[in-house]
Amino acid sequence: MKRFVWMLVLMSFVFAGCTPAAAPAPAAPQPAEPAVLTVMTHDSFAVSEEVVAAFEEANQVKVIFLKSGDSGSALNRAILTKGNPQADVFYGVDNTFLSRALKEDIFEPYDSPLLEKIPAEFRADAQNRALPVDFGDVCLNYDIAALEAKGLAVPQSLDDLIRPEYRGLLVVENPAVSSPGLAFLLATVAQYGEEGYLEYWKKLRANETAVVSDWTTAYYTNFSGSSGKGPQPLVVSYASSPAAEVVFADPPVDEAITGSVTAPGTCFRQIEFVGILKGTSNRALAEKFVDYMLSAPFQEDMPLQMFVYPVNSEAKLPEVYEKYAQQAQQPAQLDPERIAAHRDAWIQAWDEAVLR
Amino acid sequence: MSAAQLTAARAARWRRGALWAVPFAFLALFFFYPLLTIFGTAGESLLQNGVGAAGWARLTRALGFTFWQAGLSTLLTLAVGLPAAAVFGRYTFPGKRLVGILSTLPFILPTVVVAAAFNALVGPRGWLNVGLMDLMGLKEPPIQLLNSLAAIVLVHVFYNATIVIRVVGSAWAQLDPRLEQAARVLGASPLRAWREVTFPLLRPALWAAVVLVFLFDFTSFGVVLLLGGPRYATLEVEIYIQAMQMLNIPLAGLLSLIQMGCTLAITALYTRLSRQQGDIPLTPRVHGEGLRPPRSRAARWFVFGVAAALLLLLAAPLGALGARSVTRLAGDREGRTSLESGLTLDYYRELFVNRREVYFYVPPAAALRNSLVYAAETVAISLTLGFLAAYAVNRKGGWGRVLNLALMLPLGTSAVTLGLGYLVAFNRPPLEIARLPFLIPAAHSLVALPFVVRTLQPALASIPVRLRQAAATLGASPWQVWKWVDLPIVGRAALVGAIFSFTISLGEFGATSFLARPEYPTLPVAIYRFLSQPGAYNYGQAMAMSTILMLVCALSIFLMEKLEA
């Protein structure tokens, strides 16, 4: 008994004492010390060690990344703390959330010289408060072997998905909670218009399309092409997922296990933006970091770290992308303003039509 | 009264005041302050915009479903947990400690992992379905459990059975066996002795377990989202959608206010119910006095039947998870036989290599250490505050009653809203403390405290005042009285509270992700990171990390029980 008490007391002291053992995080950026730049981002942000080290060395700065949950949570955090920003740079607002971020006025404009290397189609803000960094196409993925075994062709349009031979073969995510789910809903809105998309979804539902909550469930539980070995050979995922399946294959493979459908109008393009947070005390460094994100070293690192495509037209793609990943041909696009104005209503109507 | 007596009386009053003031201060700082801050932010714009008819329709639907699934889940959890609590509270049997630890393990597992475990077991291509299809020559999987109400309820039972087992079971073991023996000697049948002696004595623990389980189910988020599928939404799911997807903080705030109102009503009902019975004078007994091996044939069947059923319910999904972490399933593909499926330790090996030089690479040892540090701090905080609060609640004063209510509130409060509150409140003056490391264990302690108080309070109440008075008369200081009288009697209950705090902290993901300290990733954070990218290695490593989490938890509980004994 006595020992138990002493162990508890001892344990609490030992543990209470040893927490801050990792690199101490300075409470506020102080210009006198080696400078600190804080970047707020979402949980999916990933980067190579050497890419960060190169920037830190060149600019004599320590970069701290504040990961703040999924993209919605991260943006919430930036909005709720505006005026007293927690970071200098915010990365990871996508074109479905962009106009909300602009309306909340959390960014300062920055005309980066690197913008001229980025095709105009990616730029969404004339004042350059949000600068495009990368894009990913949300596309249908298919299990190559499973479709072959069933003697089915790869679907080539959204209309194909409501044909009887694909009955019960597709799994999609709930657009209310999943970002690829929302992207796919937006693709159908772009294709069939606000009048027609619900009709299409009713037909999808009649064709026994499975709806699950999130990407992880869809991809790892329902999809037959990945580790979960589920029942559906078609899933809403990313155009780069087949490349990821090869990179992370166990045992290693030479040929692709899954493929993505890139036919016109079947994909939705998500573009992610970076911006300098209003009220930063580190404007000069923040500009340098934004420039760095748009430059070749960072842009070429993204494909294998985050499985997204660079927007800088000079950035080269890794070999595994050339071989296994495809870009969408004519992805569906919607104006961010229009998305912001209608997303709640579209999701609500989808919910009533598909789930109830 | 002399001046010295006055000072002594004042000192005693201060000591008594500290009992409730310290836990209150903790709640005020880490619960009410952030909540009020976010409600303040939300309130302004809600007044301008309103909710809308569609919003109300969704709200009532979510509210109805929240109560329905929580009630159903609680009933079934009791149906599974009570026989198990009886077995644990009355009998000794071989393997008891192992089954006890196993029943605690689900509590620490992140929901994504439990979803994966159930998928590996009863999913469309899970072992059960594949086995049955082979056995009966079926084309379609016979068990269609995922994305249904049944899945939600089943997983709630899986998670929360341990609450009933630990809370009711430990109270049962603490009962004076002579009372029931006396009833039997006087001619009562076993059933009558249970109904008129044992059950009334157990009622406080029973109500405590019911309210804890109900509140857990009431605020359920991940289970409903991941296993129930998109068709089902509890209030907490709606709050998450409104706050994180629609960025509609005002509506999210309103929903969480409604949720808190319900929690308050439930808790008030609970305190009323548990106060209804008169105080039965209890005397503390030597722990385990009433425990015995099952003697009659019926008792043996009962004990082994319940233990086997528990093992099946708990061990099967956990085992499926562990098995999946060492299995390579690549050969399982239709029309593709060139790749073999087989056993592999690759996923464990790969955890220790930063092959792609990822900046945010989490070394397993570091994640493990961070998780254990947070868990140990949570145990320290919640036991210290729990003891103070339990004494305060037992004093029957007005403040004790208010504290009793307030302590339960965090359990039934939206984690999403509270997390947003932390973001806003602790990132601006006067309390810019968001980056301090103790914020995470403090948030974990909010959830752990109700468990600690609910287990400690009845045990402390059972200590006769005579014992303390005798010790004091013999010259013991208040500290010595606590150490030599109170602590040995409530040691067992303190252990149960400590195990709850430890497991709650170890498995918690929400607060940890909200408070965002990437330099201290925990095991659940690392698991989520793997499961958000495609590819066999990511999936395998997530399973391997989860298995490590389970093993570490099992080992820690084993050590805690050993230390106490």
Domains of chain B by residue range: 17-45+52-564
Displacement of CA B363 from its chain's centroid (Å): 27
Give me the interface pTM, i.e. the ipTM: 0.80
- Is the predicted pLDDT of residue B18 greater than 80, yes or no? no
Beta bridge partners of A332: A268
Task: Kindly determine whether residue A305 and residue B356, on different chains, have CB atoms separated by under 8 Å.
Answer: yes
DSSP-derived secondary structure letter, B355: T
Neighbours of B280 (CB within 10 A): 12
Q: Which of B539, B525, B505 is nearest to B347 (CA)?
A: B539
> What are the chain A neighbours of B435 within 8 Å (beta carbons)?
25, 27
B244 interfacial to chain A (CB closer than 8 Å):
yes
- Side chain identity, residue B120: A
**Residues A91, A198: one domain?**
no
Residue indicated by tokens 């008819």: B53
Displacement of CA A178 from its chain's centroid (Å): 11
Please tell me whether residue A293 adopts helix, strand or coil conformation: helix
3-state secondary structure A302-328: HHHHHCCEECCCCCCCCHHHHHHCCCC
Displacement of CA B200 from its chain's centroid (Å): 25
**C-alpha distance from A348 to closest chain B C-alpha (Å):** 9
Give me the pLDDT at residue B524, please: 85
**Residues A204, A282: one domain?**
no
Q: Which of B451, B441, B396, B443 is nearest to B423 (CA)?
A: B443
Asked if omega into B518 is within 30° of 0 (cis), the reply is no
The pLDDT > 70 percentage for chain B reads: 90
- Is the predicted pLDDT of residue B225 greater than 60, yes or no? yes
Q: Range of A295's domain?
A: 29-135+271-316
> What are the chain A neighbours of B380 within 8 Å (beta carbons)?
8, 11-12, 15-16
- Is the predicted pLDDT of residue A253 greater than 60, yes or no? yes
And the tokens for B263?
A: 């929690």
Pairing state between β A234-238 and A131-143: antiparallel
**Residues A113, A154: one domain?**
no
| Of B478 and A139, more confident | A139
**Residues A140, A161: one domain?**
yes
Chain B (378-407) residues lying within 8 Å, Cβ to Cβ, of chain A: 379-380, 383
Q: Which of B92, B95, B169 is nearest to B493 (CA)?
A: B169
Interval B109-138: pLDDT, tens: 888 788 878 877 887 767 788 788 778 877
> What are the chain B neighbours of A86 within 8 Å (beta carbons)?
427, 434
**Residues A142, A265: one domain?**
yes
Interval B520-564: pLDDT, tens: 788 888 888 888 888 888 888 888 988 998 888 888 888 888 877
Give me the pLDDT at residue B336, please: 40
**Residues A53, A187: one domain?**
no
DSSP-derived secondary structure letter, B105: G
Distance separating alpha carbons of residues B284 and B166, to the nearest angstrom = 18
**In whole angstroms, how far apart are CA B156 and each of A195, B124, B506, B525?**
41, 20, 18, 22
Q: What does pLDDT average to over chain A?
A: 87
Give me the pLDDT at residue B333, please: 44
Pairing state between β A89-94 and A35-41: parallel
A341 interfacial to chain B (CB closer than 8 Å):
no
Does A44 map to a domain?
yes
Does A88 map to a domain?
yes
| Of A256 and A157, more confident | A157
List for chain B the helix, strand, coil content (%; round to 5).
75, 0, 25
DSSP characters over A59-109: HTEEEEEEE-SSHHHHHHHHHHTTTS-S-SEEEEEETTTHHHHHHHT-EE-
Does A158 map to a domain?
yes
Does A241 map to a domain?
yes
Task: Kindly determine whether residue A213 and residue B229, on different chains, have CB atoms separated by under 8 Å.
Answer: yes
Cβ atoms of A294 and A117 closer than 8 Å: yes
Distance separating alpha carbons of residues B445 and B407, to the nearest angstrom = 11
Outline where A207-264 has alpha helix (H): 215-217, 241-247
Give me the pLDDT at residue A322, please: 84
Cβ atoms of A8 and B502 closer than 8 Å: no
Pairing state between β A61-67 and A234-238: unpaired
The torsion defined by the Cα of A338, A340, A345 and A347, in degrees rounded to 10, comes to 110
Q: Is the dihedral of CA A258, A261, A262, A267 positive or negative?
A: negative
Distance separating alpha carbons of residues B311 and B102, to the nearest angstrom = 8
- Side chain identity, residue B429: P
| Of A68 and A207, more confident | A207
DSSP-derived secondary structure letter, B520: S
Beta bridge partners of B327: B343
Residue indicated by tokens 């206010």: B257
Question: Mutual orientation of helices B149-174 and B297-325 as an angle, nearest 10°?
Answer: 130
Q: Which of A47, A58, A274, A215 is nearest to B518 (CA)?
A: A47
**Residues A124, A157: one domain?**
no
Does A7 map to a domain?
no
Chain A (280-339) residues lying within 8 Å, Cβ to Cβ, of chain B: 304-305, 307
Distance separating alpha carbons of residues B493 and B205, to the nearest angstrom = 12
- Going by pLDDT thresholds of 50, 70 and 90, the confidence category of residue B80 is very high
Neighbours of B540 (CB within 10 A): 26
Residue indicated by tokens 């659940």: B524
**Residues A243, A158: one domain?**
yes
And the tokens for B430?
A: 């006067």
Q: What does pLDDT average to over chain B?
A: 84
Cβ atoms of B255 and B52 closer than 8 Å: no
Give me the pLDDT at residue A26, please: 41
**Residues A179, A166: one domain?**
yes
Does A240 map to a domain?
yes
Q: Is the dihedral of CA B155, B547, B549, B306 positive or negative?
A: positive
Closest Cβ–Cβ partner in B249, B517, B535 for A249: B535
Burial degree of B308 (CB within 10 A; 0-12, 13-18, 19+): exposed
And the tokens for A208?
A: 């026994």
Interface size A-B, in CB pairs within 8 Å, comes to 241
- Is the predicted pLDDT of residue A18 greater than 70, yes or no? no
For B565, nearest residue in chain A (alpha carbons): A1
Neighbours of B547 (CB within 10 A): 20
- By residue count, chain B amounts to 565
**Residues A327, A186: one domain?**
yes
Does A140 map to a domain?
yes
For B125, nearest residue in chain A (alpha carbons): A230
Neighbours of A208 (CB within 10 A): 12
Interval B466-482: pLDDT, tens: 888 999 999 999 889 98
**Residues A33, A58: one domain?**
yes
B17-45+52-564 domain in CATH 3.40.1210.10? no
Q: Enumerate helices (H) and strands (E) in chain B, giving the number of each.
A: 25, 2
Domain total for chain A? 2
Interval A87-108: pLDDT, tens: 999 999 999 889 889 989 999 9
Beta bridge partners of B396: none
Chain A (176-235) residues lying within 8 Å, Cβ to Cβ, of chain B: 176-177, 182, 210-217, 219-222, 224, 226-231
The maximal CA–CA distance of chain A, rounded, in angstroms, is 74
Distance separating alpha carbons of residues B128 and B218, to the nearest angstrom = 30
- Is the predicted pLDDT of residue A251 greater than 50, yes or no? yes
DSSP characters over B121-159: HHSTTSHHHHHHHHHHT-SS-S---SSSHHHHHHHHHHH
Q: Tell me how many degrees the CA angle B187-B191-B194 measures, rounded to the nearest 5.
A: 95
- Going by pLDDT thresholds of 50, 70 and 90, the confidence category of residue A256 is confident
Chain B (451-470) residues lying within 8 Å, Cβ to Cβ, of chain A: none
Q: Tell me how many degrees the CA angle B37-B38-B41 measures, rounded to the nearest 5.
A: 90
Cβ atoms of B502 and B108 closer than 8 Å: no
Does A236 map to a domain?
yes
A255 interfacial to chain B (CB closer than 8 Å):
no
Distance separating alpha carbons of residues B417 and A270, to the nearest angstrom = 28
CATH of residue A90's domain is 3.40.190.10
**Residues A240, A275: one domain?**
no
